[in-house]
Amino acid sequence: MSTLTPSVRRSVLADRVFPRSLALDAVLVVAGAALVTILAQVAIPLWPVPITGQTLAVLLVGSTLGAARGAISMVLYGILGILGLPVFSDASHGFGVIAGPTGGYIVGFVISAALVGWLAERSWDRRVLKAIVTFVAGSVVVFAVGLPWLAVYLGSVGAQNDLNAVLVGGLYPFLIGGAIKAAIAAVLLPLAWWGADRIAAKREQE
């Protein structure tokens, strides 16, 4: 006779710091969307795609909240922007942003947060080397969705959209910044876990 074992809930940083509840999950999802909104305003204006702090926020949200809550937070971020809240870069908003050259990157945020969160649920965010792989993978996903989207947009407005033009406009200017953001996240998350574990250990001793 076989026995069924209940699935173990995989813990991410938010679960280590806060007690799990639906109400708190909702607060964390909103907080994640707010963080992306804030860092979206940290931008260097370029055309067709500006350099922003959004990707760093997406990596942090995905890793701290996990796959489901991280992805939902990014969906919420996109919906708020479509509905007219100035959450996108340069306080922009509306469906036109999604339909424009940066829309694919925003869609990619959802998949990136889900992937990073999935890896974080498997403890890939707790050691620097694995964290680097995790956050580089999350960044790659954003470009994997964003670049084809950009190519289609450029073609639709009559701009040059061959491979080199798309890479020049949508990838090359972001490589150094993307590497820096992935490195920042890869340092912050293990440090945050170290701090959370120390706090938890002290509570258990009291």
- pLDDT, one tens digit per residue, over 119-172 is 999 999 999 999 999 999 999 999 999 999 999 999 999 999 999 999 999 999
Give the pLDDT confidence of 33-86 residue by residue, as tens digits. Answer: 999 999 999 877 666 666 778 999 999 999 999 999 999 999 999 999 999 999
Per-residue pLDDT for 6 more than 60? no
Q: Which residue has the higher pLDDT, 73 or 180?
A: 73
Choose among 154, 183, 178, 184: nearest CA to 166.
154
Residue 114: other Cβ atoms inside 10 A: 21
The whole-number pLDDT of residue 90 equals: 87
Compute CA distances 116 → 47, 69, 132, 148, 153, whole Å.
Answer: 28, 11, 11, 21, 27
Pinpoint the alpha helices (H) of 89-174. Answer: 95-99, 103-120, 128-156, 163-170
Rounded to 5°, the CA angle 114-115-117 comes to: 65
Delimit the domains of the chain by residue range: 14-195
pTM reported for the whole predicted model: 0.89
Where do we find the tokens 């500006």?
Answer: 50
Express as a percent the part of the chain with pLDDT over 70. 91
| C-alpha–C-alpha distance, residues 14 and 149, integer Å | 33
Q: Tokens for 123, please give them.
A: 């403890």
> Cβ contacts of residue 131 below 8 Å, gap of 6+?
63, 124, 125, 185, 186, 187, 189, 190
- Integer Rg of the chain from CA: 18
Express as a percent the part of the chain with pLDDT over 90. 75
The whole-number pLDDT of residue 123 equals: 95
The CATH-assigned architecture of domain 14-195 is: Orthogonal Bundle (1.10)
